[in-house]
Structure 1
Amino acid sequence: MSSVIDITALHKRFGWRTALHGLDMHVQRGTIYGLIGPNGAGKTTTLRTLVDIIRPTSGEVRVLGEEPRHGGARLRRRIGFVPGELHLEGRVTGHRMLSFYAEVSDPVDRGYTSELAERLGVDLSRPVRSLSKGNKQKIGLIQAFMHRPELLILDEPTSGLDPLMQREFLSMVREARDAGQTVLLSSHVLSEIQQVADEVAVLAAGRVVASGDVASLRLGSVRRVRASLEGSDPDAVRRRFMGIPGVREIDLLPRGGVLHLTATVDGPIDPFVKALAQMTVHDLTVEEPDLEESVLRLYSAGSASSIGTAGHEGGAR
């Protein structure tokens, strides 16, 4: 399987501030590669170097076998790009704007463009300037997907979309991969990456702290659990759960004949659920970890080689 994106020892400085420092990243053809981290981690800077919006201070970047600064319009036609801050204005309708993009990105299947608009639920007859942020984002997604590019580079693509449209977008990403396209997806939403990515790089404070497949990184292994239990004895419940590996930060609050339990589960959740099943449960909530917490946990794990398949100490800043 060949690489579509090869980044080697990439540095980028803005004046006195170093935004990327020694970044290495390789994206294989026909995969979905997730780039995840909190705001300010270096995700957008990385993606902008791939489409030649900004240029590296040093290091090597190759996209579809070419250097972005030399590929020009020919290379950009092979890429679908959604920027992190999408600004669409003007009196033209969505139809007219997409027609312009189609001329630039030729060839474009107009029937596929209409299908995308229908799936995303956007009215292309309206002037772009009158659309909501979410509907402008949908037009941005359509222009990226409509020419079925070899490579999709998507920076926070679900910004402004409601949950239903987010699910539709993730279906579009999976279909692109199944058709042989490659997707580089940047997000600060942990669940998006967990659902679709084949490989992941985790950025924190401008550094790549881990990379590998989603399962090996265990991004979602820490969960916060809240449960309401039928009139149980707090001491007995505490003893029951303290004996389960990975269960910590147990808090119990009796109120109105109901025992309210909160706990953190680090690792497999099955033993915790089986212990709950022995009691009468009125309510149960399981939350994914805060992204900042997940990233800090990966960073504090020490040696990057102990996290995932190919972690790095020196990534991006």
Structure 2
Amino acid sequence: MNVVDVNELTKKFGKFVALDRINLCIKEGEIYGFIGPNGAGKSTTIRVLLGMLRPTSGEAKIFGKDVWKNAVDIHKQIAYVPGDANLWPNLTGGEVIDIFLKMRGSGSQSKRNELIERFKLDPSKKCKEYSKGNRQKIALISAFASDAQMFILDEPTSGLDPLMERIFQECVLEAKEQGKSVLLSSHILSEVEKLCEKISIIREGKIIETGTLTQMRHLTRTNLTVQTKKPIESLALKGVFNLVKQNNDLTFQVDSEEIDGVIRYISDYGILKLESVPPTLEDLFMRHYEGVDGNSTGGESQ
């Protein structure tokens, strides 16, 4: 079952096209990564899904309901965490969490207390006294303590330290185990790589690649370090990039489809050491945002 269906969604602000016929499909129990630089269209997409912006054309549905026409009904089953939570300054963190749970009309008090402990939040402080990271904790606790079936998370770990990021990741995986769906918009590529089964990359309002990380890795390069008996004076082969000589080692990147030919070539020199590091999501991301010569070609803010 598809929890989110976005088809040919376009959003214009005057002549500026913020979203250009994008398509997204999120299944029940799926953690879906949505990545791109600032200004690429991530937050605009999320605002459309939340019923805050009306699409210019195309359609967007959550739980089979139109996100603009049925926003009130949809919000009963979703939890949203923004990248910077603005809270009531004179209320305590605990009071804010309770208000959010009461507004939803559902949620678990025991889960609330457990999450406060896990995120190491002092709920007695007033919100105006909290750091950005602690404000994010309040938003995350409020979301995960609810009985939402869909989580929309827009840069949710902004301001969190690495330990709290790990707690967040545990909460996302627990939600998945319960059959809940997650849309995770993030620029922290390692976070997306750890959590997400499927990923879409958005650039200048267009989805430029969608798939599982395994499916998308053919588009990027593997990192190789090689040491040979006979020195390799030149490695001017198709698909080889960023060659660096370090003592007796050669370190370089190679397009995945060219690995076989490169290995055959260097084997004639007598391989003493061969280390291979699989491409990361960051490698893939940068491949889309850099030209072949390594110069940046995009990623400007709106």
Q: TM-score range by the shorter chain?
A: 0.7 to 0.9
Paired residue for 1:108?
107
Q: Distance in 2 between the 1:245 and 1:122 partners?
A: 54
* Equivalent position of 1:19 in the other structure: 18
2:118 aligned partner? 119
TM normalised by structure 2 equals: 0.81
Contact 1:238 1:250 in 2 (8 A): no
Q: 1:294 aligns to what?
A: 287
1:113 to partner: Cα distance: 0.9
- Residue 121 of structure 1 aligns to a residue in which SS? coil
Check conservation: 1:79, 1:151, Cα contact below 8 A. yes
Does the 8 Å CA contact 2:84/2:136 hold for their aligned counterparts?
A: no
Give the match's secondary structure for 1:160.
coil
Change in Cα spacing, 1:251 to 1:170, as seen in structure 2 (3 Å) is: same
The match for 1:236 is 231
| Map of 1:314 onto structure 2 | none
Deviation at residue 243 of structure 1 after TM alignment:
9.2
Shift, 1:246, TM fit: 5.6
Q: Which moved more, 1:5-14 or 1:212-221?
A: 212-221
Contact 1:224 / 1:262 at 8 angstroms: preserved in 2?
yes
After superposition, residues 172-251 of structure 1 pair within 5 angstroms as 172-218=171-217, 221-222=220-221, 236=231, 242=235, 247-251=240-244
Q: Which runs of 5+ in 2 are unaligned?
A: 293-301
Q: Give 1:249's aligned amino acid.
A: N
- The separation in 2 between residues aligned to 1:223 and 1:280, in whole angstroms, is 12
Identity of aligned residues (%): 34
Give the letter aligned to residue 264 of structure 1. Answer: Q
Deviation at 1:55, TM superposition (A): 1.3
CA distance in 1, matches of 2:19, 2:34: 14
Equivalent residues in 2 for 1:1-317 (5 A)? 2-218=1-217, 221-222=220-221, 236=231, 242=235, 247-252=240-245, 262-267=251-256, 278=272, 288=280, 289=282, 293-296=286-289
Gaps spanning 5+ residues in structure 1: where?
301-316
Offset of residue 245 of structure 1: 8.5
CA contact (8 A) 2:218 2:256 kept: no
Name the counterpart of 2:297.
Answer: none
In structure 2, what is the equivalent of residue 311 of structure 1?
none
| RMSD after superposition | 3.5
Is 1:88–1:136's contact at 8 Å kept on the other side of the alignment? Answer: yes
Q: Deviations over 1:100-138 (max 9, x none)?
A: 101101211011011112222221111111111111111
Amino acid of the structure 1 residue aligned with 2:183:
L
Moved more, 197-206 or 215-224: 215-224
Deviation string for 1:177-197 (max 9, x for gaps)? 110101111112222221111
- In structure 1, what is the Cα distance between the partners aligned to 2:36 and 2:164? 22
Instruction: Give me the TM-score of the superposition, normalised by structure 1.
Output: 0.77
Quote how far apart the aligned CAs of 1:156 are: 1.0
The 1:285–1:184 alpha-carbon spacing in structure 2 relative to 1, beyond 3 Å, is closer
Letter in 2 for 1:150: Q
User: Could you tell me how far 1:222 is from its partner in structure 2?
Assistant: 3.3
1:88 partner SS? coil
Report the CA distance shift for 1:294/1:110 in structure 2 as closer, same or farther (over 3 A): farther
Aligned length: 286
Structure 1 pair 219/97, CA: closer, same or farther in 2 (3 Å)? farther
How far apart, in 1, do the equivalents of 2:129 and 2:284 lie? Answer: 34
**What does the per-residue CA deviation read over 1:61-101, in whole Å, with 9 as the maximum and x for residues that have no partner?**
11112112232433212101012332224111100001110
Secondary structure of the structure 2 residue equivalent to 1:218 = helix
Match for residue 306 of structure 1?
A: none
Change beyond 3 A, Cα 1:111–1:286: same
**What is the CA deviation profile of residues 229-253 of structure 1, one whole-angstrom value per residue up to 9, with x for unaligned ones?**
9xx99x82656xx499965321225
Equivalent-residue separation in structure 1 for 2:277 and 2:217 (angstroms): 20
Give the residue type in structure 1 aligned to 2:108.
D
1:236 partner SS: coil
Q: Which residue of 1 aligns with 2:295?
A: none
